[in-house]
Chain A
Amino acid sequence: MQIHQYDVVIVGAGGAGMRAALESSQRTRTAVISKLYPTRSHTGAAQGGMCAALANVEEDNWEWHTFDTVKGGDYLVDQDAAEIMAKEAIDAVLDLEKMGLPFNRTPEGKIDQRRFGGHTRNHGEAAVRRACYAADRTGHMILQTLYQQCVKNDVQFFNEYYVLDLLLDTDLTAAKKPRKGAPVRCSGVVAYDLATGEIHVFHAKSVVLATGGSGKIFKTTSNAHTLTGDGMALALRRGIPLEDMEFFQFHPTGLAGLGILLSEAARGEGGILRNGEGERFMERYAPTIKDLAPRDIVARSMANEVREGRGAGPHKDYVLLDLTHLEPEHIEAKLPDITEFARTYLGIEPFTEPVPVYPTAHYAMGGVPTTISTEVLRSNTDVVQGLFAAGEVACVSVHGSNRLGTNSLLDINVFGRRAGIAAAEYATGADWVEMPQDAAAYVVDELERIRTAPAGEKVGDLRKALQETMDANAQVFRTAESLQRALDVIDDLRARYQSISVQDKGRSFNTDLLEAVELGFLLDLARVVVVGALAREESRGGHFREDFPTRDDEGFMHHTMAYAVATKDGDTAIRLDKKPVTVTRYQPMERKY
């Protein structure tokens, strides 16, 4: 076992983690721990753009962007946070340009902007060109640019290290909670070096969680295999609540049957969704902005077309994304990657044939609750000192119940930067918190238990069962019955997980072992998603209950806070609480597009 000491430890090296590292490493001694090489992070898969009201091509302002974000999130957005994001968006884009990001340009040489779902001029009048982009690989260019800057600034990385525990000075899982205002502090993390199997304890004054999303709780997803919600699960297990986990975004245009993402930019550039009868069905669901309605509405409309028998294909189980009316040169210039995906994976030529698409699990709106300064909350009002979170792992909440397209690339840059600054500033003024005596004991025991367990349950079998039940029962349409079915399966899988075993018994590069650990995270998080979804008896944003098909502001205009509470039998139960939504300028209205 090795012990390291850094002022700031950042967990995750995607956009949020590296943006934080660029700030923190210039102020104080910083390490970035990532289970992947930084350039493998899933920020690189983001395609369409990053919105900021630069007004480079038409009139725009950050207030309209704030409004769109709030309305897009079906009024569950904390409006103070959305305002910060929309305001700081402009500098976030300009910062990236100064770092060298190769944005597409206007004829005048300025950063070009294009339309994106839910982004409108003057509070919903018409779609506005707000998304700054680099072809359809904006996320790739953000990830590369941030990594380039990290190389330039000699940021220290621990690559292919898995963080498996969060060290706090107070047990928050105990039945008796610390009183309001009592200091609870973070003292570091425990990590596992994949290459050698060695445990590394990182003693830190500040820890920033930037571990990304948890899309692998679903079967059909745009998310990477490695997006197993590690940071969220670690927090939950240490008694930190998770906020709004029932809100999961299903991106409308995943390649049918595969889930691979085709950017909303395809519709921003003029692409049209058609059902099996060739009808442009979004005209019925969102008469004003049609195919550029927010993702929850488009995804639900697509699923409804299929459900009502108007799907395309031999089983009528998908709809079509039609780009054939666009100029091939235009598609090639603006959407080269996604057209190649259609060719490579489905053998479809998008210049001449419409592309089969269906909603794919894409983004967790919920996550580890934070303040607007990225401090992690342990209750509605108290923070864990020295613990910060940014990006998809976090819930600020700028996305409410449905994130607008491009706002995730914005989120990681704005709140990643804020996290880096906040963590460094906190570390500069704080004393070292003593770590527990046996800091690594839990991780060592758990890994040894799994690694040496006799033949038992297989990771692949349990994960498959989990993902299938989530797709079948907790996707675009949900009911009390479907969610209960999912919960029953999850409970059973959690029990079976106790006898999980792996075939690889080695120390070096044991991905079999780590997949087992990641499965444990997925099971814990899926349970929180479903428990939250069962309790929320209304429909809002990405959460649609067929048995409660309308939004209920009286009963549910609040955030969900889910706590894992220790039970007598040594397991945990999920306890739900409420947190008020911060409303500043915009009173909830009916959401029409």
Chain B
Amino acid sequence: MTATTTSPAAVGEVPSFDVTLRIRRYDPDAATPEAFWEEFTVSAHGTDRVLDAMHKVKWDLDGSLTFRRSCAHGICGSDAMRINGRNRLACKTLLKDLDPSKPITIEPIKGLPVVKDLVVDMEPFFASYREVMPFLIAGKNAPTKERLQSAEERARFDDTTKCILCAACTTSCPVFWTDGQYFGPAAIVNAHRFIFDSRDEGAAQRLEILNDKEGVWRCRTTFNCTDACPRGIEVTKAIAEVKKAMITRAF
């Protein structure tokens, strides 16, 4: 097997290579549902992503392999999974970056109930998100035209507006694994996005919610979330800023 990286000049002329996917399977409709590992080998090209290889399995070998996906370029947040032990988006992880000479392990993200194969129940995740009041809370006296906001004020919360709610961060968090009640990084990121928005007036309420015993203080600063974020959000830093705002009430 030869794994070959392509130079940009060679787009359209990419040698193929074989790659083995070792996938965690679970079929709730089986007579005795039980999780197990299954390996598939498919041929791939230089620019193929993990998602492409999974599609090859699904479309050519085993149609029952089940996973979520939609946009296929890292924007919709559907296909977060645990790839070689790390949370990533399957559509944003190139096979050639993973050492395709060894089997690539693919498991569902951890800490949420597995529904089927790589599909987990996202409801607990979205429930935490909804609890932090993830929407602008502003006074009734809005101006006729837009509210003014300086470029600096806008930049203050830019990083956390990038969140695509894929759950890669929350399901990489050891605290969340052991305590599913913890709000988790994604919910805090989305609270941060409003707490530091100069147009918002709901910071005090959100900080009160996150001051809960399952709130920001559960964070142990392991940085797993920052490593996992496919959008490059400095998640741990955002959580630290929320903690600081809670103490100083400055936001």
Please give the residue numbers on chain A whose beta carbons come within 8 Å of chain B beta carbons, in ascending order: 36-37, 39-42, 44-45, 93-94, 97-100, 102-111, 134-135, 137, 140-141, 144, 148-149, 151-152, 195, 224-226, 256-258, 260-261, 313-315, 317-318, 337, 340-341, 344-348, 353, 356, 458-460, 502-504, 506-512
Separation of A313 and B200 alpha carbons in the complex (Å): 50
Neighbouring A residues of B9 by C-beta, 8 Å = 313-314
List residues of B (71-96) whose CB comes within 8 Å of A's CBs: 71-78, 92, 94
B38 lies within 8 A of chain A by Cβ:
no
Pick the contact of B149: A39, A44, A109 (CB < 8 A): A109
Separation of A512 and B29 alpha carbons in the complex (Å): 14
Could you tell me if A346 and B47 are in contact, using CB atoms closer than 8 angstroms?
yes
Can you list 6 A-B pairs, Cβ within 8 angstroms, ordered by A? A42-B71, A98-B146, A140-B75, A346-B8, A506-B29, A508-B27
Known contacts A100-B199, A104-B154; decide if A504 and B149 are in contact (CB<8 Å).
Answer: no
Number of B residues near A (Cβ < 8 Å) is 69
Q: Within the complex, what minimum Cβ distance (angstroms) separates B145 from chain A?
A: 6
Could you tell me if B12 and A317 are in contact, using CB atoms closer than 8 angstroms?
yes
Could you tell me if A144 and B72 are in contact, using CB atoms closer than 8 angstroms?
no
Known contacts A140-B75, A258-B47; decide if A148 and B136 are in contact (CB<8 Å).
Answer: yes
B181 lies within 8 A of chain A by Cβ:
no
Separation of A531 and B42 alpha carbons in the complex (Å): 37
Pick the contact of A100: B28, B130, B135 (CB < 8 A): B135
For B73, give the chain A residue with the smallest CB separation.
A260
Neighbouring A residues of B150 by C-beta, 8 Å = 105, 109
Separation of A261 and B47 alpha carbons in the complex (Å): 16
B62 lies within 8 A of chain A by Cβ:
yes
Interface window among B98-106, B155-163, B214-222, B237-245 = B155-163
Neighbouring B residues of A94 by C-beta, 8 Å = 145-146
For B136, give the chain A residue with the smallest CB separation.
A100
Separation of A488 and B133 alpha carbons in the complex (Å): 54
Could you tell me if B151 and A149 are in contact, using CB atoms closer than 8 angstroms?
no
Could you tell me if A225 and B70 are in contact, using CB atoms closer than 8 angstroms?
yes
List residues of B (36-94) whose CB comes within 8 Å of A's CBs: 47, 49, 58-60, 62-64, 66-78, 92, 94
Could you tell me if A509 and B119 are in contact, using CB atoms closer than 8 angstroms?
yes
What 0/1 readout, one digit per residue, does chain B (195-207) give for beta carbons within 8 Å of chain A? 0010110000000
Pick the contact of A344: B68, B92, B153, B162 (CB < 8 A): B92
Separation of A371 and B6 alpha carbons in the complex (Å): 50
B251 lies within 8 A of chain A by Cβ:
no
Interface centre among A144, A257, A318 (most CB of B within 10 A): A144
Q: Is the interface of B mostly helix, strand, loop or mixed?
A: loop
Pick the contact of A102: B70, B133, B157 (CB < 8 A): B157
Known contacts A314-B13, A356-B11; decide if A44 and B47 are in contact (CB<8 Å).
Answer: no
Neighbouring A residues of B232 by C-beta, 8 Å = 340
Could you tell me if A512 and B64 are in contact, using CB atoms closer than 8 angstroms?
yes
Separation of A106 and B49 alpha carbons in the complex (Å): 39
What 0/1 readout, one digit per residue, does chain B (110-123) give for beta carbons within 8 Å of chain A? 00000110010010
Separation of A260 and B76 alpha carbons in the complex (Å): 13
Neighbouring A residues of B229 by C-beta, 8 Å = none
Neighbouring B residues of A344 by C-beta, 8 Å = 74, 92, 94
Could you tell me if A504 and B197 are in contact, using CB atoms closer than 8 angstroms?
no
Q: Within the complex, what minimum Cβ distance (angstroms) separates A568 from chain B?
A: 34
Could you tell me if A353 and B12 are in contact, using CB atoms closer than 8 angstroms?
no
Known contacts A97-B147, A460-B60, A503-B62; decide if A356 and B200 are in contact (CB<8 Å).
Answer: no
Neighbouring A residues of B28 by C-beta, 8 Å = 506, 508-509
Neighbouring A residues of B69 by C-beta, 8 Å = 225
B247 lies within 8 A of chain A by Cβ:
no
Could you tell me if B76 and A45 are in contact, using CB atoms closer than 8 angstroms?
yes
Could you tell me if A110 and B146 are in contact, using CB atoms closer than 8 angstroms?
yes
Q: Within the complex, what minimum Cβ distance (angstroms) separates B45 from chain A?
A: 9
Separation of A503 and B61 alpha carbons in the complex (Å): 9
Separation of A40 and B126 alpha carbons in the complex (Å): 13
Could you tell me if B76 and A224 are in contact, using CB atoms closer than 8 angstroms?
yes
For B29, give the chain A residue with the smallest CB separation.
A506
Separation of A270 and B12 alpha carbons in the complex (Å): 27
Could you tell me if B146 and A37 are in contact, using CB atoms closer than 8 angstroms?
no
Could you tell me if A40 and B77 are in contact, using CB atoms closer than 8 angstroms?
yes
Known contacts A107-B151, A256-B11; decide if A41 and B76 are in contact (CB<8 Å).
Answer: yes
Neighbouring A residues of B200 by C-beta, 8 Å = 100
Q: Within the complex, what minimum Cβ distance (angstroms) separates B152 from chain A?
A: 9
Could you tell me if B158 and A102 are in contact, using CB atoms closer than 8 angstroms?
yes
Could you tell me if B70 and A356 are in contact, using CB atoms closer than 8 angstroms?
no
Could you tell me if B11 and A257 are in contact, using CB atoms closer than 8 angstroms?
yes
Q: Within the complex, what minimum Cβ distance (angstroms) separates A316 from chain B?
A: 10
Neighbouring B residues of A106 by C-beta, 8 Å = 151
B1 lies within 8 A of chain A by Cβ:
no
Could you tell me if B75 and A45 are in contact, using CB atoms closer than 8 angstroms?
yes
Separation of A260 and B158 alpha carbons in the complex (Å): 24
B246 lies within 8 A of chain A by Cβ:
no
Separation of A575 and B31 alpha carbons in the complex (Å): 49
Separation of A459 and B13 alpha carbons in the complex (Å): 27
Q: Within the complex, what minimum Cβ distance (angstroms) separates A321 from chain B?
A: 12
Neighbouring B residues of A140 by C-beta, 8 Å = 75, 162, 164
Neighbouring A residues of B147 by C-beta, 8 Å = 97-98
